[in-house]
Each structure stands twice: as structure tokens, then as C-alpha cells.
Amino acid sequence: IQELLRVMRTIDDRIVHELNTTIPTASFVGKVDPGQTCKDLYESLMDAHTSRERIIKNCISQTSAVVKTLKEEREKAHEDAALLKQLRKEQTKLKLMQSELNVEEVVNDRSWKVLS
């Protein structure tokens, strides 16, 4: 999932470049509608942010369900080392996804500051 998010964050990583290439210079003002171009960039950014947040929250939800199930199973089988190992692995994954949500917030804020 981290690789997918990295690829999906390309628009945010390249926001300055996107602005420089979409807003026309004085010689091209008549050929390109800067208002529409900025609107398109804004909508692309919004779509990217929305889809990434949805993906992260979906992963958090799924991983939380797995952690809950494993905790319930562990209550029944205290001595199962493999179960405990799987539970720890899923808890680590859940924490990673929750931290990705925080990273997403920082990335989004940075992009909006550049855009405004």
C-alpha cells in the first residue's frame, strides 16, 4: 500500500511544477484559459486527496477488523505463539496505516498552501 500511496502522491510532490506548466506566461494568455486550467488542477488535487484518504481509511477498517478477530481468538487460546505473532504483525500494520493518515494530512496541507 505504501508504494501505491507514493505513486498517488505524485501530483502533490510535483505541485509547483504543475502550477508552472499550467499557468500560461504572458505570451500564451490568449491561447489558454488560466481560470479553467487552475480549476482542472484544483479538481485533480481534490480527487487525488479524496481517493488516497478513502484507500487509507479502508485499509485501517479492514486491519482493525482483523486485529479484533485475532484478539478474540487469543482470548480463547492464550498459549498460541503463532496467533500472538500474527496479532502483533496486524497491530503494527494498523499503526502504520494510522500514521499514513497523518502523513496524508501533512501532504494535503502542504499542497493547498502552495496552491493558494
The structure's pTM equals 0.78
The ranges assigned to domains in the chain are: 34-115
Residue of 2, 8, 13 lying closest to 100 (CA atoms): 2
Q: What is the mean pLDDT of each successive set of 10 residues along the chain, which is 116 residues long? A: 81 78 64 76 89 94 96 88 94 94 91 82
The residue written with cell numbers 487509507 in the block is 56
pLDDT of residue 23: 67
pLDDT of residue 30: 63
Q: Residue type at 14? A: R
* 8 within 8 A of 106, measured Cβ to Cβ: no
Spatial distance between the Cα atoms of 58 and 38, rounded to a whole number of angstroms = 30
